[in-house]
Every structure is written in structure tokens, then in C-alpha cells.
Amino acid sequence: MIVVISIGGSILAPKLDSRNFGKYAEAVKEVAKKHTVFVVTGGGAIAREYIQVARHLGANEANCDTVGIDVTRLNARLLISALGKDAHHEPPSDYKEAEHAASSGKIVVMGGVAPGQTTDAVAAILAEYVQADLLVNATSVDGIYTADPKSAGAKKLDRITPGQLVDIVMKSEMRAGAQSIMDPLAAKIIERSKIRTIVLNGSNPKSIVDAILKGKHGGTEVTP
Ligand code: UTP
């Protein structure tokens, strides 16, 4: 199976800690024993801090996005370091490069590619590009909810269609560093290419392994 795993910066780098990168690297290696794996890393709080400083300094939104992309790529480099010889040595800067890098048989890790989106969209487009069988979006939230998980009455959904996913995420805000359960662009890509997707809480890296290898998870399954 070809699997794209999107690891949100909120779980990979809530703060910079080499042990945390090490734990995710072990989980990714476990999956890569059985499957072809691509990983997309998010920027997390550190990216938002950088973006905020850039914005205060007068940078426009596209430039703020570029600052964010640089941080996601730094996180990709750290995960590559933790994966050692199992990983392709360089984070690809586009999808074509990523596909080419995978021909080495190594785990490919990349960050952001272009302004106006987040790494959720990168992971979805990559899944489309390499015709992945499964996209796993590992975040700090338990899955897709009917509304903001913090609001009263919001219910977690175990299984939804890509169309429902689009309806839910379309309500979110779009500016550099904005936080939402999923980038609307990612949802649209998942919808148009009918990509089987699991959105789960990946705070414990083992939950990513169990979802992929055992099909067991407590998140939301998006199936056409
Ligand atoms: P993230 O993908 O980390 O965004 O990219 P996020 O929604 O904050 O996700 P978590 O918290 O890591 O899970 C960080 C920022 O980098 C820019 C955007 O500004 C985004 O908010 N970015 C990232 C891009 O402009 N293009 C990309 O391809 C990726």
C-alpha cells in the first residue's frame, strides 16, 4: 500500500524536543516495513510564532506563508535526521521530486510547497499525485466534529463522506498560521480524487501505526 502520513506540527513540534521527533521516526519506520511511506510535516506553534513576527514587521500574507513553509521544511529535516538511513536525505520541494525520491525505496519526508495553503493540502495533493491508497492526517484533535470541538453539542463523527468533510471545513478561516481541523483545499482534493482518509489524534505516535497496520483508530474515516 502507498500511504501518505501528515504529521501536524502541533503534535510533532509543540516545542522543539529531539525525543519527540525520535518517537515519530520509530512509528514511521514501523509502517515503512510493510508499506511505501511519504510523510508531510507541519510547522506547529513555532511556525505561528515566526509568522506573527513577520506580520508585525509588515510582511504580506504570501510572505508570511513562505516563513511558515520554511519552518515546516525545517521540521521535515529534523524528522529526516531522526530516520537516518531509512529516509531520503532531502525534503523534496515539489510533488514530482517527491515521487522521484521514493524510487530509492526510502521514506520521503517533505514540508510545505506553496503559499495559500497548509501542509494538509500538501499531503492531499501528494496522495493524489502518487496515487496513495491511504492518507492519514494525524493532528491534536480526535477527528472531525460536527462543529468546533470546544463548542457545546459538538459531536465527533466516526465515518463521513468527502462531501460532508468539505461542508464542515469550508467554514474555517484562511490566513497564514490559521488553525482549523483541515485546510479546505485538502478536503476538496480528497473529494475530487476520492482518497480514503483517516483523521485521528496522533499525539501518541502508536495510534498512527495501529490505524495503518491494524485498521484500529478512534478518529474519523473519510470514505466515498
Ligand atoms: P502547517 O501546515 O503547519 O499549518 O503550516 P497548521 O494549520 O498551523 O498546522 P499544524 O498546527 O502544524 O498542524 C504552517 C503555515 O505555513 C504556511 C501557512 O501559512 C501555514 O499556516 N504554509 C504551509 C503554506 O503557505 N504553504 C504550504 O504548502 C504549507
Question: pLDDT digit string (tens) for 123-144?
Answer: 999 999 999 999 999 999 999 9
CA 104 – ligand 1 centroid, Å = 28
User: What CATH number corresponds to the domain at position 115?
Assistant: 3.40.1160.10
Residue 30 has pLDDT above 70, yes or no: yes
Q: How far apart are CA 221 and CA 17, in angstroms?
A: 30
Residue 147 — pLDDT band, cuts 50, 70, 90?
A: confident
**Amino acid 181: pLDDT:** 83
CA 176 – ligand 1 centroid, Å = 7
pTM over 0.75: yes
Residue 174 has pLDDT above 70, yes or no: no
- Mean pLDDT (whole number) for 165-177: 74
- Mean pLDDT (whole number) for 71-82: 98
Question: pLDDT digit string (tens) for 90-123?
Answer: 999 999 999 999 999 999 999 999 999 999 999 9
What contacts 42, CB < 8 A, 6 or more positions away? Answer: 6, 7, 8, 9, 10, 12, 13, 72, 75, 111, 118, 119
**How far from the centroid of its chain's Cα atoms is residue 51's Cα?**
19
Q: Which of 167 and 149 is assigned the larger pLDDT?
A: 167
113 lines ligand 1 (CB under 6 A): yes
Q: Which three cell numbers stand for residue 102?
A: 521514493
- Residue 200 CB neighbours (<10 A): 21
Domain extent for 191: 2-222
75 lines ligand 1 (CB under 6 A): no
Q: How far apart are CA 27 and CA 39, in angstroms?
A: 11
Please state the domain count of the chain.
Answer: 1
Question: pLDDT digit string (tens) for 33-74?
Answer: 999 999 999 999 999 999 999 999 999 999 999 999 999 999
222 lines ligand 1 (CB under 6 A): no
Report which protein residue has its CA nearest ligand 1's atom 23.
118
CA 118 – ligand 1 centroid, Å = 4
CA 49 – ligand 1 centroid, Å = 12
CA 124 – ligand 1 centroid, Å = 13
Contact present, 25 and 83 (Cβ < 8 Å): yes
Q: Which three cell numbers stand for residue 113?
A: 510547497
Q: Which atom of ligand 1 is nearest to the CA of 180?
A: 7
Pairing of strands 134-139, 2-7: parallel
Residue 149 — pLDDT band, cuts 50, 70, 90?
A: confident
Rounded to 5°, angle at Cα 181 from 70 and 112: 20
Least confident of 71-75, 180-184, 209-213: 180-184
